[in-house]
Homo-oligomer: A and B are copies of this chain.
Amino acid sequence: VESKRSHVVVGFDPALESLPPELVASRPREDYHCSEEWQAALYRDFLRPLAEALVSEAVAVKIQVAYFEALGGPGYKLYEELVAFCRELGYLVIADVKRGDIGSTAEAYATAHLDRTGADAITVNPYFGTDGVEPFLKRARDCGKGVFVLVKTSNPSSAEIQDVVLQGGEPLYARVAALVRQWGAGTEGEYGYCSVGAVVGGTHPEQGAWLRTVLPGVPFLVPGYGTQGARAEDIARVFDQTGSGAVVNSARAILYAYRSRPECSWLDAAVAEAREMRAALWRAAGRA
């Protein structure tokens, strides 16, 4: 954030039906053994130039593995390739996998998504409690990896479980937040922030502001900007007093910006969108 002067995370959530038509037209499908290989090749054509073009606007790339798993083996291979490619470009790479399981299985997931691919950070689901996140925490303590734990997600139904009121009167996400703070203790770095962070949906500005006050030193990954509806002014209060402490993800609004900017190429449209988002967040964080 400090060196790039940006809070922007670009989300790689590719969808065939949203790719620029000229890109799709440039790759004849019949040249491929199967549709998944063709689609993976298209995703590669789309995401590699995007990664190159956005490097001075975005601090991190968040790769949503679901869209790659949906292409089977060829997609999974591309996911791993993109982690390495984006790291070489100087991004921090967040493997958005939201895994959660018992300890022995979580260890296999940590091997898959942190050790093997070399991703800098991972998103994890807290439902299993401490032993289910410990393999990820170990990589935070020992290898400087980052772990973002789901606390309050951006989707409409998030309240059904996350906002359930506990005996003491607080919502469940407050209990999860307390665990996150405990899990990160001792991993504070140069700026006072821990290696264990929280996913806090930008679509819930009040809860985000409250979580900021109770979780000093916990970095936030804020999804929901752009297509999901959160604006810079909504999420101003997820930043700390120095205008730091959070990075904000936008996927579809950047990736498919060509649809609202017909005057630009799809690549220029994405860069323009990311640049506007960067400036808006920088102002909202009180930095400009």
Binding site for B on A (CB under 8 A): 13, 64, 66-67, 69-70, 72-73, 76-77, 80, 98-106, 108-109, 111-113, 116-117, 125-132, 150, 153-162, 164-167, 169, 172, 175-176, 179, 223, 228
Contact = CB atoms under 8 A, between A and B. Distances in A.
Given A102-B153, A102-B155, A161 B108 contact: no
Contacts of A113: 69
B129 A155 contact: yes
Given A69-B109, A72-B77, A116-B72, A129 B161 contact: yes
Given A70-B108, A70-B109, A72-B117, 10 more contacts: A13-B104, A70-B111, A72-B80, A73-B80, A102-B223, A125-B127, A128-B158, A129-B155, A129-B158, A165-B166
User: How many identical chains are in the complex?
Assistant: 2
A127 B129 contact: no
Contacts of A72: 76-77, 80, 112, 116-117
Nearest to A169: B167
A181 to B, nearest CB: 14
B100 A67 contact: no
A47 to B, nearest CB: 15
